[in-house]
A and B are shown apart, each in its own frame.
Chain A
């Protein structure tokens, strides 16, 4: 216990698990029985179904835009009129108030102040938010696993340097770091060797979110690697002459996988939330590109005249993140039958 205290991470911004995750990972249940337990949980199935539905909706964005709404996420219709209940109404009234939900194909959820179709933007925004969330979570996992493997396996000064590096990012206030990086990259773009990202690229929020969350995943994983490398099977592999890379790749990494799987849904959930926060502060996705974050930002600014602008994207975001959190809980319960806190 005492040795663990040094790297005990607090719950992350969205309640990412702290060090206790490391203990869970050492004795995972067999994958098949874990899957069976997962499939037997009604809340897991419900969350998975909801997520599948949201992903499908995002994928179907062009279909809805072309065939139902007949517009694009960027097209302005400020001066257009739309037929509602037999009456022609302005999409945006002369004093700048956009139309609310019409519950018809065109402007199903109403328009924003630029006369853009909210439903269409919501679907395309969902594409961006989900894509950024998943990509950032995967990149975080990649960076965190690499760091944890190298630090935990080599120990000594390598571990010292990497662990202190994680401490620095970890002690940096999360949103401050995200906003600072997001703003700086947006002004100047990013150059990473041969890869060059323009300031308005969607890859920038992905990169920023991934970097910010690395310590929350790398610290518990590093603890697990430290414990794993003392196990007999690692000693056996080394005795047979396996090199460092071989041991890390085929002995330690497979045993880390359950832990990574447990953390991934939570990482995606937190990445989506951070995207929204960064966009709200003007350091995430760049307008006019829609994302749930930029749409909430828009809506919050105009909440007095048009409440639906804030409510619609907010509800989508909450549904998605809640489903991911429930799924994450159930995956953890399934992989660790002894946790026993499942409902």
Chain B
């Protein structure tokens, strides 16, 4: 177990390092991408550009620039090229928003996906089962920013049921917090409900043909009890592992589109806006944060998997 964790930790550090190099290169090998030209503004003089080059160290070699930037990532001194704001503070401002979105949506999509998946498995072969299956396909086929914009327009703007974007901190007013987040939670959940209910449906249908389920029925257990205690419990494992991974991805900027369409000003939206301005420092920081969440939750899921299913021995990982 310990050696597994140590190896995983080493791999994690390696992946994060590679991702930081990749991100840094994407924005530094592009022609016409020199930040000093943009920072000097429209009415620039060569002297100004030169001064900015010196001051920010753009005249140094790529390796030196990378090293300085990475040091600043860890000391929290990273500063935006675009408006001079401190990247760390901006991320800390965005994290509660992204976190609120991710936690609420993850709970919502898990609950609804289990209900929908179980229902469509039990009703398989009937019209209602077919309809829930079709609903799931439509769910995985809709772009989240499209659904989000339509929901925002019809339910928020036209019907006036929900506020038009924005965010209220949980500590300030829990009711307003939830009220602002209901639409984003729903929009973000639709895709995952579709995916999870489909996975759950097929694993429930597989499990139902297992011998131990027949045994449970033969013992005279009620159908509901068989479903919950025997079928669902064993069918949940693949979904729970997906859940961890997707939660990590959503935390790590995976909700860019949802955050943007509802103007939540979370970490993902911050990254999207920074990319648009070719503002490398925030992009680098958010990307590494996102990758960190993804990699960490991936490891957590693997450990949980082994705990949930004794047939998997962690020593062999």
Contact = CB atoms under 8 A, between A and B. Distances in A.
A183 B32 CA distance: 12
Interface in A166-206: 167-168, 171-176, 179-181, 183-185, 187-189
B202 interface: yes
B205 A173 contact: no
A291 to B, nearest CB: 12
A217 interface: no
B110 interface: no
Interface residues of B, number: 74
Contacts of B31: 187-189
B316 A188 contact: no
Interface stretch (B17-25, B48-56, B71-79, B171-179): B17-25
Contacts of B22: 168, 172
Given A171-B295, A188-B31, A317 B143 contact: yes
B253 A173 contact: yes
A176 B145 contact: no
A173 B16 CA distance: 12
Given A187-B30, A281-B257, A1 B141 contact: no
Nearest to A179: B275
Given A1-B312, A303-B149, A322-B138, A188 B30 contact: yes
Contacts of B295: 171
Given A14-B140, A180-B23, A269-B141, A343 B290 contact: no
Contacts of B298: 171
Contacts of A18: 242
Binding site secondary structure of chain B: helix
B261 interface: yes
Contact of A176 (B199, B287, B317): B287
B131 to A, nearest CB: 10
B27 A184 contact: yes
B191 A183 contact: no
Interface in B233-291: 238, 241-242, 245-246, 249, 252-254, 256-257, 260-261, 268, 271-272, 275-276, 278, 283, 286-287, 290-291
B137 to A, nearest CB: 5
Which interface residue of B195, B261, B317 has the most chain A CB atoms within 10 A? B195
B130 interface: yes
A176 B150 contact: no
Nearest to B147: A314
Which interface residue of B26, B27, B271, B272 has the most chain A CB atoms within 10 A? B272
B194 interface: yes
A325 interface: yes
Contact of B257 (A175, A187, A299, A303): A175
B133 interface: yes
Given A277-B257, A280-B257, A318-B138, A11 B195 contact: yes
Nearest to A17: B199
Nearest to A20: B238
A184 B32 CA distance: 10
A310 B157 CA distance: 15
B15 A187 contact: no
A322 B137 contact: yes
A122 B203 CA distance: 39
A236 interface: no
Given A183-B275, A187-B30, A314-B146, A343 B253 contact: no
A273 interface: yes
A173 B30 contact: no
Interface of B: 11, 14-15, 18-19, 22-23, 26-27, 30-33, 124-125, 129-130, 133, 137-138, 140-143, 145-146, 149-150, 152-153, 157, 191, 194-195, 198-199, 201-202, 205-206, 238, 241-242, 245-246, 249, 252-254, 256-257, 260-261, 268, 271-272, 275-276, 278, 283, 286-287, 290-291, 294-295, 298, 302, 305, 311-313, 316-317
10 contacts: A5-B312, A15-B198, A164-B11, A184-B278, A188-B30, A296-B146, A300-B146, A311-B150, A325-B140, A326-B137
